A and B are shown apart, each in its own frame.
Chain A
Amino acid sequence: MSLSIRNRALAGFLPWIVPVALLLTWQTGAQLGWITARVLPAPTDVVAAGWRLTASGELWFHLKSSFERAAIGFVIGGGLGLALGFATGLSRWLSLLLDSTLQMVRNIPHLALIPLVILWFGIDETAKIFLVALGSVFPIYLNTYHGIRNVDTQLLEMARSYGVRGFALFWHVVLPGALPSILVGVRFALGFMWLTLIVSETISATDGIGYLAMDAREFMQTDVVLVAILLYAVLGKLADISAKGLELWWLRWHPAYQRGQGA
């Protein structure tokens, strides 16, 4: 698709028309009283609520709680997934021992375990971190295992015949070869991480963005609920952007990620 300069300006402008129009309609509708503030407060009210929460420090407080939960759960789950993936990917015996079980367990939707998790851990912090970890472990496990198993055997043979063995073989050949797949797993896991966090914070919490939303719901502060929803969206996007950033850096050798390196 090649566009002339004028068309390119137009192409930059076109995608904005619908969202801006929607926003304007929403604002006008709310101001004229077509939509009650309980259903959907005006965009300006949502911005005002966001500003109020930021100024009072409430927003940062809840954001921090949610972020910590997400990070701890992701590190535990992702780390475990990575370790299991390395173990089964590198050892035929461990793969025989573990893989079929893990494949079976991964078919259970982790959110279905919520009642059980509440029975085990109550409704405190552990339950939420456990769920987040559970949500991130399988995407990373599967893609790590798959990535390692699919490392080019010709490259492995070449490296071995050049005397690269043991940890060096893992570090210089196996891991970089599996990295594209592992990073796909990381992006999936990040998606699951936010989803799990939202659900678990909505069920029970005394802080965090989910709590902010549920608390506001009780007082019918729809504007704050909307702020919470937007926060989740922004955080999800940020996580995705950082994962993409990692890909751009770690996979910079990959033809698909190369921009204009002269041949």
Chain B
Amino acid sequence: MAKQAPAKWGVGITTRNLQRQFGDLKVLKGLDLDIQAGESLVIIGRSGCGKSTLLRLLAALDEPDGGKLDFVGESEGSRDHSVRMMYQEPRLLPWKTVVENVGIGSVEPVEAKFALHEVELDSKAQNWPASLSGGQKQRVALARALAHRPELLLLDEPLGALDALTRSTMHRLIESLWQEHGFTLVMVTHDVSEAVMLADRVIVLDDGAIGLDINIRLPRPRVATDPIFVGYEARLLEYLTGVPVEPADKSLPRHKWEAARPDSGYLAISN
């Protein structure tokens, strides 16, 4: 069984018939979604299908036009669950030093320094954001979110603008921080491989509702060349593109490759 993060801080979420529209455009058409406390959920879907819209509802940046959205967790009932969002852009204040940026929203300087340490950017504490690389900026944004000890961390394609090497470093970092802190992680991406790398569970948003919902039963840390990993990728790609996908490596044992497809009757890997 894959190693699950302890739900130290995580909060669960339940939505029922969640709706959101812009004018006549119905983006979310009655979404029913249960997110477990401490779970790592990745949302993928075509561009413009409403992923950011959903995330903004979860972050309470926007109000739903219908339906219900509830937080469930240990501190059930209280409304002030700490939810933090990391955007596609780092959104750092250019006139504040790196450590000041992390400390935004009355975080103790000690906490800000520690959060920077967690993303391995201690040495840049006194720099201006303008002097950082794209990946470093996103790490600062991650530290800023972590400094608030969130119960729910929302990531909206935060790695989209980064190169492949930096992305894979960021995957490791996000995974280890998630395992350590135990927050609930909801991440949006358009990258199927990223989804399989990080998710306990992947949902595909399709036409305003959940089109596909699969659990990724792979031990962590995951390896992208693992046949089952590749199988999950193929399953998602097939759904998204509507075209059957075959493994590039034809020598892969067929049963392994097929195993990852939920319709094959596959349930769990024991290790």
Contact = CB atoms under 8 A, between A and B. Distances in A.
Interface stretch (B32-40, B129-137, B195-203): B129-137
B93 A263 contact: no
Nearest to B59: A161
A216 interface: no
A158 B61 CA distance: 10
B127 A158 contact: no
B28 interface: no
Given A154-B87, A155-B93, A263-B132, A172 B104 contact: yes
B87 A254 contact: no
Nearest to B145: A162
A101 interface: no
A258 B128 contact: yes
A249 to B, nearest CB: 12
A258 B131 contact: yes
A254 B130 contact: yes
Query: Which interface class (under 10, 10 to 19, 20 to 34, 35 or more) fits A?
Result: 20 to 34
B106 A163 contact: yes
Q: Which of A155, A157, A162, A173 has the most CB of B within 10 A?
A: A162
> Do most interface residues of chain A lie in helix, strand or loop, or is the interface mixed?
helix
Interface in A217-263: 252-255, 258, 261-263
Contacts, number: 54
A262 B96 CA distance: 16
Given A162-B105, A261-B127, A263-B133, A254 B148 contact: no
Interface residues of B, number: 23
A87 B248 CA distance: 63
A90 interface: no
B144 interface: yes
Interface in A170-228: 172-173, 176-177, 179
B97 to A, nearest CB: 8
A176 B130 contact: no
A75 interface: no
A158 B91 CA distance: 7
B95 interface: yes
A242 B167 CA distance: 45
B89 interface: yes
Given A162-B144, A263-B133, A176 B91 contact: no
A157 B61 contact: yes
A136 B128 CA distance: 33
A176 B133 contact: no
Contacts of A159: 93, 104-105
Interface string B91-118: 1011110000000111000000000000
Nearest to B132: A263
A164 interface: yes
B111 to A, nearest CB: 13
Contacts of A252: 128
Interface in A123-161: 154-155, 157-159, 161
B85 interface: yes
A161 B154 CA distance: 12
Contacts of A157: 61
Nearest to A263: B131
A154 B132 contact: no
Contacts of A261: 127-128, 131
Q: Which of A177, A252, A253 has the most CB of B within 10 A?
A: A253
Nearest to A176: B95
A179 B96 CA distance: 13
A261 B130 CA distance: 10
Nearest to A261: B131
A132 to B, nearest CB: 31
A262 B91 CA distance: 21
A164 B87 CA distance: 17
A164 B133 CA distance: 26
A261 B95 CA distance: 14
Contacts of B93: 155, 159, 172-173, 176
Contact of A155 (B91, B128, B133): B91
Interface of A: 154-155, 157-159, 161-164, 172-173, 176-177, 179, 252-255, 258, 261-263
8 contacts: A159-B105, A161-B61, A162-B148, A179-B95, A252-B128, A254-B95, A258-B128, A261-B127
